[in-house]
């Protein structure tokens, strides 16, 4: 199916973030700095990347921003929800990701970004106790309140459309149940306060009903179940997820394809990391950690294809650990021990020590997802956008298919989709 020819978007685009902690405020402040020419949006494909396109019979690298009509940074307006009332400046200062010098340059603009009261059933995030929360007689009523928030935000900020990226805490691990199987069952569950319906699902339901495209940056069950797929198609809204691919998993999906390309064998991969700040504290709860663990563990098996190479990858021991270690704040440190083997099965080891900054790696992903989901929506694309799997640890894929984890294959798929939007033959 060929897509419509798009022109450059006019008007303002609302970027809504449920959860205005470290990642959200680092994204907002970074965009404010970048659009004033006070900082470089490093790590963002939409701002710095290129797309290989055919021009006059030869392949030419065209700036992605020129190849497809993305919203400009000046057109973005920020909003969101949080269970703490701090504005974006206070929350960014609390997160201690960006320097006082950087925050000072956009202090007034950040101060003006204030979270709306949150939907918060605490059993989904046990370690947090916020006060800036909505009350409602039922979960259906919560959805109605979030829908009102979205309309009011658009009206008050003169936006003609919006996109949303979930940047809220990791919720406890849950699998899809009967209530998640259809629109009717989900609506019934909302009306009857089903305990199976989480905070993030309530936001997602409201956003999709309001035709706001949404990405899920955390590993919880938010968008990836039949009722949500059905609603996204019905309302003509693109969705993507889940769990931003940032530090250790990003490295895993870069290195594992390389080992496989060279037909080197693998016996084990042990990953551990220490992390402070609020995200680390939330992940210290075993039920929230379980969501993260499941999301992080899926990648190796899919990349290595153990069935095709049982001698090389049939018996890989893969472990992932995260420890909450407050002194480290956002400056996560990851260690990987990789036990590999080569010619005649001789063993080797590789150690990776990645001293990264979590939100610095996540912020460009939030920006790209916001702009690319808006692009997809304007191009009339709806439902699950698996070409955005490049950005996620646990990419969504159509039921019955396996998700692609290899970063380089994901990049090809992303480029192919963008070429289609640019109306080039793929
Ligand atoms: N930083 C990374 O590299 C990275 C990578 C992958 C995934 N993530 C995920 O992104 C999310 C955000 O990470 P962070 O470092 O900004 O965490 P954070 O703790 O700094 O921010 C999360 C915010 O969400 C808020 N929140 C929780 N439940 C909410 C609700 N129901 N409604 C509104 N707000 C709610 C919290 O109050 C908090 O301010 C987490 O789920 C994390 O696992 C982050």
What atom of ligand 1 comes closest to residue 120's alpha carbon? 31
Of residues 344 and 275, which shows the higher confidence score?
Answer: 344
Q: Looking at residue 288, what is its pLDDT?
A: 76
Whether 124 and 257 map to the same domain: the answer is no
Which of residues 275 and 221 earns the better pLDDT score? 221
pLDDT band at 307 (very low <50, low <70, confident <90, very high): confident
What pLDDT band is residue 279 in, cutting at 50, 70 and 90? confident
Within this chain, do residues 39 and 145 fall inside the same structural domain, yes or no?
A: yes
Mean local confidence (pLDDT), 277-292: 76
Question: Of 323, 338, 355, which residue sits at a domain end?
Answer: 355
Please indicate, yes or no, whether residues 34 and 70 belong to a single structural domain of this protein: yes
- Confidence at 299, pLDDT banded by 50, 70, 90: confident
Q: How far is the CA of 60 from the centre of ligand 1 (A)?
A: 39
Confidence at residue 381, expressed as pLDDT on a 0 to 100 scale: 96
Atom of ligand 1 nearest to the CA of 80: 33
Q: Ligand 1: which atom is nearest the Cα of residue 18?
A: 33
Residues 220 and 100 in one domain: yes
Q: Which of 321, 355, 389 is the last residue in one of the domains?
A: 355
Answer yes or no: do 279 and 349 share one domain. yes
Residue 411 placed within a domain? yes
Judge whether 60 lies within some domain: yes
Ligand 1 atom index nearest CA of 21: 21
Atom 8 of ligand 1, residue of closest alpha carbon: 218
Pair (119, 237) in one structural domain:
yes
**Above 90 in pLDDT, residue 38?**
yes
Question: What pLDDT digit, counting tens, does each position of 54-90 carry?
Answer: 887 888 999 999 999 999 999 999 999 999 999 999 9
Domain match, 101 and 234 both: yes
Residue 315 lies in domain = 248-355
Mean pLDDT of all residues in 270-277: 88
Please work out whether the CB of residue 404 comes within 6 Å of at least one atom of ligand 1: no
How do residues 9-28 score in pLDDT, each as one tens digit?
999 999 999 999 999 999 99
The verdict on 132 and 24 lying in the same domain is yes
- The pLDDT value recorded for residue 275 is 85
In short, whether 167's Cβ falls inside 6 Å of ligand 1 is yes
Tell me, yes or no, whether 88 lies in a domain: yes
Q: Tens digit of pLDDT for each residue in 124-136?
A: 888 888 899 999 9
Last residue in a domain, options 355, 377, 393: 355
Asked if 186 and 210 sit in the same domain, the reply is yes
Ligand 1 pocket mutation pick from 18, 29, 89, 167 by most atoms within 8 angstroms of CB: 167
Are residue 188 and residue 253 in the same domain, yes or no? no
CA of 23 to the centre of ligand 1 (A): 7
- Residue 426 counted as domain residue: no
**Residue 218 Cα to ligand 1 middle (Å):** 7
Reported as a pLDDT band with limits 50, 70 and 90, residue 245 is very high
What pLDDT, on a 0 to 100 scale, did the predictor assign at position 425? 64
Number of compact structural domains in the chain: 2
Nearest ligand 1 atom to alpha carbon 330: 15
Per-residue pLDDT averaged across 313-334, rounded? 89
CA of 198 to the centre of ligand 1 (A): 15
* pLDDT of 424: 81
184 contact partners, CB below 8 Å, separation of at least 6 = none
Asked if residue 6 is part of any domain, the answer here is no
Mean of pLDDT over the chain: 93
At 179-211, the pLDDT tens digits run: 999 999 999 999 999 999 999 999 999 999 999
32 and 173 within one domain: yes
Question: Residue 1 pLDDT > 70, yes or no?
Answer: no
Q: Quote the ligand 1 centre to 33 CA distance (angstroms).
A: 22
CATH code of the domain containing 64: 3.40.50.720
* Average pLDDT value for residue range 353-378: 96
Q: Please report the atom of ligand 1 found closest to the CA of residue 121.
A: 31
Instruction: Based on the fold, state whether residues 266 and 335 are members of the same structural domain.
Output: yes
Ligand 1 binding pocket includes 97 (Cβ within 6 Å)? no
Distance from Cα 8 to the centre of ligand 1, integer Å: 32
Instruction: Give the CATH number of the domain where residue 346 resides.
Output: 3.30.360.10
Residue 413 lies in a domain: yes
Residue 338 included in any domain? yes
In a domain, 200, yes or no: yes
Q: How far is the CA of 22 from the centre of ligand 1 (A)?
A: 7
For the residues 144-157, what does the mean pLDDT come to? 98
175 CA distance to ligand 1 centroid (A)? Answer: 20
Predicted confidence at residue 395, as pLDDT, reads 94
């Amino acid at each position: 199916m060929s897509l419509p020819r798009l022109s450059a978007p006019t008007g303002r685009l609302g970027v809504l973030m449920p959860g205005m902690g470290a990642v959200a405020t680092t994204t907002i402040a970074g965009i404010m700095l970048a659009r004033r020419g006070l900082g470089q949006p490093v790590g963002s494909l939409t701002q710095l990347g290129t797309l290989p396109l055919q021009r006059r019979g030869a392949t030419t690298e065209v700036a992605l921003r020129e190849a497809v009509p993305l919203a400009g940074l000046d057109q973005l307006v920020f909003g969101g929800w949080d269970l703490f009332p701090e504005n974006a400046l206070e929350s960014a200062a609390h997160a201690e990701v960006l320097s006082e010098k950087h925050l000072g340059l956009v202090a007034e603009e950040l101060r003006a970004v204030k979270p709306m009261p949150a939907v918060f059933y605490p059993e989904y995030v046990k370690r947090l106790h916020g006060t800036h929360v909505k009350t409602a007689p039922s979960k259906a009523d919560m959805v109605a309140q979030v829908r009102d928030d979205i309309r009011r935000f658009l009206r008050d900020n003169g936006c003609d459309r919006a996109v949303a990226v979930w940047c809220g805490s990791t919720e406890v691990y849950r699998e899809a149940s009967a209530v998640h199987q259809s629109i009717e069952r989900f609506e019934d569950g909302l009306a009857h306060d089903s305990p199976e319906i989480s905070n993030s699902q309530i936001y997602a339901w409201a956003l999709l009903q309001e035709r706001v495209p949404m990405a899920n940056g955390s590993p919880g069950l938010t968008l990836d179940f039949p009722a949500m797929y059905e609603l996204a198609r019905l309302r003509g809204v693109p969705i993507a997820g889940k769990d931003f691919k940032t530090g250790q998993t990003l490295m895993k999906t870069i290195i594992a394809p390389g080992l496989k390309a060279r037909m080197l064998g693998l016996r084990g991969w042990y990953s551990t990391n220490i992390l402070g700040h609020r995200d680390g504290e939330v992940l210290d709860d075993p039920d929230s950690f379980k969501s993260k663990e499941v999301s992080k563990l899926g990648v190796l098996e899919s990349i290595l294809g153990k069935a095709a190479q049982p001698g090389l990858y049939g018996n890989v021991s893969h472990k992932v650990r995260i420890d909450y270690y407050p002194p480290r704040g956002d400056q996560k440190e990851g260690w990987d021990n990789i036990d590999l083997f080569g010619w005649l099965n001789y063993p080797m080891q590789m150690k990776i020590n990645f001293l990264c900054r979590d939100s610095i790696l996540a912020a460009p992903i939030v920006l790209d997802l916001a702009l690319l989901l808006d692009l997809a929506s304007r191009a009339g694309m709806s439902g699950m956008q698996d070409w955005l799997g490049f950005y996620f640890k646990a990419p969504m894929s159509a039921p019955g298919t396996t998700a692609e984890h290899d970063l380089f294959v994901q990049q090809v798929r992303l480029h192919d989709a963008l070429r289609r939007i640019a109306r080039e033959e793929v």
